A and B are shown apart, each in its own frame.
Chain A
């Protein structure tokens, strides 16, 4: 009986969750939400050689503490890149409806890559959290950095055909 009551109460929340998610969607991401991502720093955080160097030089407890901090920073970078991808997707959605086929094509490519980046981020973040729990474990961030780099190039290409303002500089 209790299980059914809990189920009934949970069921009632479903439409509210749908509305809440949709409401969030209407508040579209703005250019101001773009945060700069230092890819070099990110690559450094994910570099296995760097990790190996720290492992050899530091006492184990200190290494684990530092490694956790490094992974936490990497998560922040990835979250930032994923959030930038969301903003760019929103802008590219507008550009996709452009009457100019080249602009529309560039926008489609940008959307495609932004989605890919968010997919990589979705897969990488749990791995990084796992790495924080087990600091010795070898962690890969997948292709987040490459995808982000490609995305910034695509923004530049799209910016040549469509007014994106200061976005490429912000990335």
Chain B
């Protein structure tokens, strides 16, 4: 029983406000994508954002409408997160292959490394699921938490691989593509952290203060990710490193360069 003025009641209120704000923000993001026609460049990201908005509103409706019960709510959350995770995987892979398509020299190595990393991560995630199964009293909620943790672990690993691979080979990012990756990083890592804690909490399915606190943290981090996406969608597109950079040195021809060039040309001939 929740008592008036208790900490849990305050948490419930705050969580519901944050939840509604998060869903509203995701709707705003989707509208911005449509208005700015960003879907032309980032079709999959647009579908991902559209799903976040639609599923977010759907889950909210299931929670508020009296004809739906707890099982319906759980199913709605599972479907919403499941589809979101599939779209996020597709998005990460598309970001990677799209960037590599411009650099044929590294395409083959990149694809093999991506596959190898995914297999390694999958093995690690499955080992973790084996070593540290969920502790929840109810089978489905506990299983769901472990599956979600596995999926988010894979996503985080793939994102880290992508960023480090691009870094090593100095492949430039479009700022929006980087924004998408950063947002996904926040989204997946926070989900992973929260689910790692939730999967080990015996009371993961009961409405305790810690449940509300974790849900609140989850919604706040999701809001942060959506805000990052929104900021990058609203900002003008540029290339990292700086696109507008001028040629590094004045176009004058230093004398000693002529000598080097002559030598190199002779070698070429």
Residues on B with beta carbons closer than 8 Å to the beta carbon of A3:
128, 131-132
B23 within 8 A of A: no
Residues on A with beta carbons closer than 8 Å to the beta carbon of B256:
166, 169
Inter-chain CA distance A19–B224, complex, in Å, is: 14
Residues on A with beta carbons closer than 8 Å to the beta carbon of B160:
14, 17-18
B196 within 8 A of A: yes
B136 within 8 A of A: no
Interface residues of A in 11-53 (CB under 8 A from B): 11-15, 17-19, 21-22, 24-26, 28, 30-31
Inter-chain contact A115/B106, CB cutoff 8 Å:
yes
Inter-chain contact B169/A25, CB cutoff 8 Å:
no
A119 within 8 A of B: yes
Interface residues of B in 162-201 (CB under 8 A from A): 163-164, 167-173, 178, 181-182, 185-186, 188-190, 192-194, 196-197, 199-200
Least CB distance, B225 to chain A, in whole angstroms: 9
Residues on A with beta carbons closer than 8 Å to the beta carbon of B1:
none
Residues on B with beta carbons closer than 8 Å to the beta carbon of A118:
168-170
A134 within 8 A of B: no
Closest to B182 in A: A18
**Tally of A-B residue pairs with Cβ under 8 A?**
152
Residues on A with beta carbons closer than 8 Å to the beta carbon of B188:
14
Inter-chain contact B241/A90, CB cutoff 8 Å:
yes
Say which one of B11-19, B67-75, B259-267 lies at the interface with A. Answer: B259-267
B79 within 8 A of A: no
Size range of the interface on A? 35 or more
Say which one of A66-74, A138-146, A156-164 lies at the interface with B. Answer: A156-164
Inter-chain contact B260/A156, CB cutoff 8 Å:
yes
Inter-chain CA distance A163–B261, complex, in Å, is: 13
B268 within 8 A of A: yes
Residues on B with beta carbons closer than 8 Å to the beta carbon of A18:
159-160, 163, 181-182, 185
Inter-chain CA distance A170–B195, complex, in Å, is: 53
Inter-chain contact B186/A163, CB cutoff 8 Å:
no
> Contact residues of A with B, CB < 8 Å?
1, 3-5, 7-9, 11-15, 17-19, 21-22, 24-26, 28, 30-31, 86, 89-91, 93-95, 97, 111-116, 118-119, 122, 152-153, 156, 159-160, 162-166, 168-169
